[in-house]
Structure 1
C-alpha cells in the first residue's frame, strides 16, 4: 500500500513518532511518501520518499491509498485533496494548547478514522469530540536505547540526575520546567552530593539553584548515552499524549521519576518501574529525588523494572498495529 504523510516539519520531539513509523512501514515494503514545505526542517534520517512543496494545500498532496495528516493545519488540505483515504493521526489533542482551538477541534469532526497514541489521549478525544479512536502507541528502538555504564560508576563522582529542558519561553508551558528546578533546590538542601545534566533542544538556559551541565545530544546515539549514563531521569510534564522520554530512559536502564501526565499511564507502574508524582507537586518530586539519591537498592530495582517494561514497547510492535489497522480498512 502507499502511505502519504503530510507534515509541517520533522524536528525534534513528537515528530519522532512520524519518522519511526514511516521508516518501519517502508521496511515492510510499503511505499511511503513524506510531503512537507520547501524550508521545513528534517531532523531525522528518513528512509522514505521525501517531497518538498511550496505550501501544503490540497493540490500539492500526492495520491496514495492512505493519507495520514498528523497536525491540525495538515488535515483539511489532505481531506480536500480527495487523493486517498484520510486517517486522522493525532499526536496530541491540539485544542489543549494551540491558539486556534476551534479550527483544531474541527479537524476531529471530519468523517475519517482517528488514531490516538495512548488510552488517556483516546479518552480526551472522546470526551471533547464524542468520537472514538484507535490507539497506536509509540515505542523505543532497542538497538539504540539500551544500557551503558553509569557516569557515577566510571568517574567515582556523585550521582547524576538527567532532565530534558523544554522551557516555557519557547512555548512549552506544559513541561513543568520551573517545578523541576524548584524541586532540585529543595533536594540540594537535603542531599547536595549530586550533579544535574540537561539536554535543551531549543538551547534554553535556566538560572539554576545548582550548577548543571548542558549536554549536546544531536543524534539518537547521543541521546541514548545521555539517558544511560545518568542514575535518575526526571520528567515533569503536566500532560502528554504518550510521553516517550521516560520510556526511552527505562530502556537505557535508568531509574525514572515522572509526573502522572496521562499519556504515560499505559506503561508506568508506580513503584515497579518508576516513581510517579502528581503534576506540579514540587514537594513530592523533591522527596522522590532525595529517596532515589539515597536508596541504591530502590534505584536499581526501578531501573530493572523499567528495562523489563521497555522490551514490550518497540516501534516494531507499534508498526505491527498500524499495518493491521490499515489493512483492515482496505477490506472494509
Structure 2
C-alpha cells in the first residue's frame, strides 16, 4: 500500500467548517488519509461573506490568540486542499472519485451530482430537530456510513437499506490525558444549541452552585457566557491544552445533550480521568456502559443528574472504578483503528466500482 496511485481520490463535502466536533473529526480523518497516501480534498459550501464579516473574524481570532484561547474554527488544522463551491457539479471531480457528504445538509447536493462517481453519506448524528429534512436526507438509497453502531437501526429504518459500514471517530491521546492536577470540581461543555439542552444545563449549574458552594465549576464552550455562569468558571474557545486541564481538574464531567452522534467530549473527559455522567442518546450509548465506565441518565431529568453527582462525590471508590474502566474504553477508540477502517471501506468501494465499470 506504499504506491500512492492505488488509492482512490476522496472529497469530503461540508456545509461549513466551524468549531463543531463534526468539522474537527472530518479534518482529522482527512489528514490521516493524506498520511496514508490518499488524495483528499475538503469541499465547503461558499457562503457570501462581507468584507466587514471577514475583518471581524480576523480580529476575533487575534483577540482569542492574545487571551490564550483558540481559533473559532478547525480549518487551520487541515493540511490538504480546501476548496469552496456554489455548485458542486462545477467542481472538477474525476470518474470513480469518492465524494462523501458529511452530515445531513449536503446529502442532496452529493446525490444530485451528474458524474460517474461513488457517492457516500456519512452520518455523524441525527438531529433532534428538523425531522422533515432528516427524513428526506436519509430515506433515498445511497451508500451509507455511520460513526456509531447505535445510529444504525434508525438509519436503516429511514432508508430501508443496510448501513454499509460503521466507521467510528478516534481520540487523540497525545492531546487528551490525565495531567495529574488537583481534581476538585465539576465540569461541563456548554452550548446554546437546542440539541445540547442549554436550559437544562443552566438549571444543573444553578443546582450545583446551590448544593456544593465550595466546589469549583469547569465549563467551556463557544457560546457567549450566559449570566447564570460565573465569569471565573467559564472558558470560551479554549485551546486544546486548556480543555485538557479543565477535564483533568474535574472529578465529575457532565454531558446532558438531547442528541449526540458520537460524543467525543465524553471520551476526552474519560481520557483525562474524569468520571462521566451523561444523558442517554446515540453517542453516549456507543461509549458508556451504565454503571461500569460511566453513568447514564434520562434526557431532561435534572434531579437525577444532581443525584448522580452527589452519589459520585460521596463514593470515591465507585468513582475511581468508573475512571479505571473508562480508561480501557478510551483505548478502544483510537484514530489508527478508525482511519484503517475508513481506508479499507473506501478501497473496497473503489475496487467494486472498477469491477462494475470493467464489466
TM-score by length of 1: 0.87
- Conserved? CA contact 1:237–1:279, under 8 Å: yes
Q: 1:31 to 1:218 in 2, by over 3 A?
A: farther
TM-score by length of 2: 0.81
C-alpha distance in 1 between matches for 2:140 and 2:301: 39
C-alpha distance in 1 between matches for 2:333 and 2:141: 30
In the TM superposition, 1:48-127 aligns within 5 A as: 48-53=80-85, 55-60=86-91, 62-63=93-94, 65-79=97-111, 80-82=113-115, 84-94=117-127, 96-98=128-130, 101-127=131-157
Name which of 14, 33, 37 aligns with 2:41. Answer: 33
Structure (1 or 2) with the greater helix fraction? 2
Q: 1:191 to 1:325 in 2, by over 3 A?
A: same
Shift of 1:68: 0.4
Classify the secondary structure of the residue corresponding to 1:221. helix
Structure 2: gaps spanning 5 or more residues = 1-7, 50-71, 353-359
Shift of 1:239: 2.1
Of 313-322 and 212-221, deviating more is 212-221
Shift of 1:126: 1.7
Aligned residues: 317
Shift of 1:225: 2.2
Q: 1:7 maps to which residue?
A: 14
Q: 2:220 maps to which residue?
A: 199
C-alpha distance in 1 between matches for 2:109 and 2:207: 49
Name which of 281, 289, 294 aligns with 2:309. Answer: 289
Shift of 1:105: 2.8
Shift of 1:189: 4.2
- 1:141 aligns to 2:172 (yes or no): yes
Q: 1:83 to 1:33 in 2, by over 3 A?
A: farther
Shift of 1:26: 1.0
C-alpha distance in 2 between matches for 1:323 and 1:124: 25
- Tell me the C-alpha RMSD between the 2 structures: 2.3
Of 26-35 and 8-17, deviating more is 8-17
- Conserved? CA contact 1:166–1:204, under 8 Å: no
Classify the secondary structure of the residue corresponding to 2:282. coil
C-alpha distance in 2 between matches for 1:81 and 1:6: 16
What's the CA shift string for 1:198-234, capped at 9, x where partnerless? 11212241424x7751124443333222212222210
- Conserved? CA contact 2:261–2:283, under 8 Å: yes
Q: 2:54 maps to which residue?
A: none
Classify the secondary structure of the residue corresponding to 1:194. coil
C-alpha distance in 2 between matches for 1:206 and 1:261: 28
Shift of 1:22: 0.7
C-alpha distance in 1 between matches for 2:108 and 2:228: 42
Of 281-290 and 187-196, deviating more is 187-196
In the TM superposition, 1:236-255 aligns within 5 A as: 236-255=256-275
Q: 1:160 maps to which residue?
A: 185
Of 18-27 and 223-232, deviating more is 223-232
- Conserved? CA contact 1:234–1:256, under 8 Å: yes
What's the CA shift string for 1:79-104, capped at 9, x where partnerless? 3241521111121224x423xx4454
Q: 1:59 to 1:103 in 2, by over 3 A?
A: farther
- Conserved? CA contact 2:293–2:323, under 8 Å: yes
Shift of 1:138: 1.4
Name which of 24, 40, 47 aligns with 1:16. Answer: 24
C-alpha distance in 2 between matches for 1:108 and 1:303: 37
- Conserved? CA contact 1:59–1:81, under 8 Å: no
- Conserved? CA contact 1:161–1:197, under 8 Å: yes
- Conserved? CA contact 2:24–2:74, under 8 Å: no
C-alpha distance in 2 between matches for 1:50 and 1:211: 37
Shift of 1:19: 1.1
